[in-house]
Homo-oligomer: A and B are copies of this chain.
């Protein structure tokens, strides 16, 4: 099942390995990068383009956790689990820095479903969510373990 900008509510019954979900887009700019970094990741290469030129990043780059937070915002809308997105954990890598001007979208794929041994109404659903920019390159590779529930009467 391929779902674009899905709005319906998904129960565990509706989710299968291989299902794909595509998010809307988010346009990033320097002001957003600096605002997030000022609050949560105040390092020169996330705060000031001139300072960033002399750094490993060679120019202003978003905090990796800012990319994760934007990805989460896009997932809330594109991966509509009926009980919400409840994360048990995640693995994340940032193959490239996210930059001012990037237009991000997220493509998610269900890669594993592990039913709970003790609670038959639920499972851990593993979703791999790739955050792409407008150049087709991957800025973030996130695999999250999410709790999903069956319909009450299923």
CB neighbours of A42 from chain B (8 A): 73, 76
| Residue in A40, A43, A56 whose Cβ sees the most chain B Cβ within 10 Å | A40
Min distance, Cβ A112 to any Cβ of chain B, angstroms: 16
Tell me if A's interface is mostly helix, strand, loop or mixed. Answer: mixed
Cβ of A91 within 8 Å of any chain B Cβ, yes or no, is yes
On whether the beta carbons of A72 and B147 are closer than 8 Å, the reply is: no
New contact pairs (16) apart from A43-B84, A56-B147, CB-CB < 8 Å: A40-B70, A40-B72, A42-B73, A42-B76, A55-B84, A56-B86, A57-B86, A65-B65, A65-B68, A65-B72, A89-B91, A89-B93, A90-B91, A91-B91, A91-B92, A92-B92
